[in-house]
Every structure is written in C-alpha cells, then in structure tokens.
Amino acid sequence: MNLSTALFDHTLSAPIIIEAMTGGVKRAFDINAALAEAAEVLGLAMGVGSQRAAIEDPRMAYTFTIVRKRAPHAFLIANIGAPQLAEYTVDDIRTALDMIEADALAVHFNPLQEAVQPEGDPQYEGLVDKVKEVAASLSIPLIAKETGAGIAYEDARRLEETGVKGIDIGGAGGTSWAAVEACRAKALGNRHRARLGETFWDWGLPTAVSVVEVSQSVAVKVLASGGLRSGLDAAKALILGADAAGFAFNLLKPAVEGRVQTALERLMMELKTAMFLVGARSIKELQAAPAVIVGKTYQWLTARGFHPEKYARRRTP
C-alpha cells in the first residue's frame, strides 16, 4: 500500500499537512522546530503561522527560519494574512518567502476573527484584485486559506480566477477563532465583543460540505482542514474530494510535549488502515472510493445544489 501523493510539483510520503500555527513569538521557536523535524523525517508538508510579526520585526525571523533548517527537504508553506496584502510591498512578501525558502504561499482569510476581535480590522475591500496581483508575481503556488469558516464554491470560483493554485478549506467544526476571540474579549472585560464571538461561535461551512462544494467546482488543489482529528477523518476528506488533509489543533500539544512525530505516525497508520479496509492500494484509489453522504451534510449539500448520490458514482480511479 502506498500513501505517497503529489502536491504541486512535490511528492509527499502521505497526503498530510501540518497546518499553519505559530511563529513570531519566542515560544514558537521550539514548537516550529519540533513540527519541522517531524515533517522532514516523515516526508510531510508544513505551513508556518502568520509571518506578520517577523515581517514587521526582523528580530523575530529566527522563529521561522528554524523551520527550513530543521526541514531542508520538506514542502513548506509561508503564511500572510489577506488584509496585510494591501499594506505589504513585493519585497515584504519576498522576505516572508525567503525566511523559510518557501515552496508555496498561503494567504489566510479570517474575516470572522477580525470582526469579533476587539482590535480587529475587517478590511476586505479590493482584496481579490490584490490576490490576483500577488499570484501573478509569484513563481511558487499561491494557496487561499480559510481559518475556520470554510470556503463556499462561489468564492472558490472567484479565487480560481485570481490565479490561486490551491484552496485550503479551513472549515467550521474545528478550531473556532470566534470562540477564541470571545474568550479573549471576556478576559478583557469587553462584554459586547464576547457576546459577538458567542453568537458566531459555530459560524461557517462545515469542512465536509466545503470540501465537496469546492472540489466539485474548481480545478485547483483542495486541502481539507478544520476539525480533522484522525487519519480516518483524512481518508473521509480525500474521498470527498480533497487532495490532502491538514491538521492543526491536535498537533499543537504533541509538539509542545515532544511527541509530534508519534502523533503524525498515528494519523498515517489510521489513514493506511482505512485504505486497507476499502481495498485502496494508493491515494488515487482511495479518492475514487464511493462516498456515502447522509444526514445533515447530505441536506446541506442538496440545499446548495449539489447531488451527493450522483457525486458518489461520478469519480473513477
């Protein structure tokens, strides 16, 4: 059985991505080093957290540069917030890419977090044009990435037109930034923002729904993330249409505790077991396995104009 798969022009030993989490603060150095070592040993892809802090204060760059040092061969994804694209020059973006000798750039969209955050700045006007401009200027793939609210197929189509080569779903059902900001606002004594975060706690397209919508609507690579907790979840995401599966929350504690390689090996073992049980010898065969979509996900997809029963029979290896 072979778990290896192509992601852009790179071969991963399994379709697993360590999602963007950290950098820019002292504590991130050890976490990023641990994540990068595991990515290198296991042949997986890794995204770094937002590089804003290090672009604005180069003294923080070491918390990111360690990633390429510890993972000289891994597929590494740089990370910038979409609202920052409006402020940054081409040189700023180049600085972020050079910091980790990036193989791809993820531009993250977090309008929900910006809207709830007490100091948030929900400036999204004109960003589609800016994404287009940046995509055209890069020699590596640009990935548009959500951070917990998922991506609708209408937006995926607009993003594809801008020239992005990948979409990271970042769907609802996992880490919720509305929840994080609600807790922060509460701690700061900002009752209105806390209430706002509570109201939008679960806002967004569930990851499964978003993966189907997007992978059925555009030809770019689809990375499934948001609430994936096991290799079985990764297998389901791949069957639903994803090209790779991303994990953040359930790798953070293992990274802090020095057992992230073991956590990733468990994910790979679970993925392999799911493949064995459906008789798939390769990731391509797994992706062609019939999907049975029931319950709320089925209702949601049909309400959005997708027909899961047709979809289940459509894919061929």
Ligand X SMILES: Cc1cc2nc3c(=O)[nH]c(=O)nc-3n(C[C@H](O)[C@H](O)[C@H](O)COP(=O)(O)O)c2cc1C
Q: Is 227 in the site for ligand X (CB under 6 A)?
A: yes
Q: Is residue 172 within 8 Å of 207, Cβ to Cβ?
A: yes
Which range in 86-94, 116-124, 153-161, 224-232 contacts ligand X by CB under 6 A? 224-232
Q: Is residue 291 within 8 Å of 314, Cβ to Cβ?
A: no
Structure tokens at 69: 């040092």
Classify residue 293 as left (phi > 0), alpha (psi -120 to 50) or beta: beta
Which range in 58-66, 158-166, 246-254, 264-272 contacts ligand X by CB under 6 A? 246-254
Q: Is 109 in the site for ligand X (CB under 6 A)?
A: no
Q: Among residues 216, 225, 261, 287, which is the contact residue for ligand X, using CB under 6 A?
A: 225
Classify residue 273 as left (phi > 0), alpha (psi -120 to 50) or beta: alpha
Q: Is residue 291 within 8 Å of 308, Cβ to Cβ?
A: yes
Q: Among residues 5, 117, 175, 216, which is the contact residue for ligand X, using CB under 6 A?
A: 175
Q: Is 184 in the site for ligand X (CB under 6 A)?
A: no
CB of residue 314 to ligand X, shortest distance in Å? 27
Tokens 């096991």, located at residue: 230
CB of residue 193 to ligand X, shortest distance in Å? 19
Query: From the CB of residue 72, how many other CB atoms can be counted at a distance below 10 Å?
Result: 10
Q: Is residue 291 within 8 Å of 312, Cβ to Cβ?
A: yes
Q: Among residues 111, 174, 197, 206, which is the contact residue for ligand X, using CB under 6 A?
A: 174
Residues 14-53 that bind ligand X (CB under 6 A): 19-22, 49-50
The footprint of ligand X (CB under 6 A) covers 19-22, 49-50, 79, 106, 108, 145, 147, 170, 174-175, 225-228, 247-249, 252
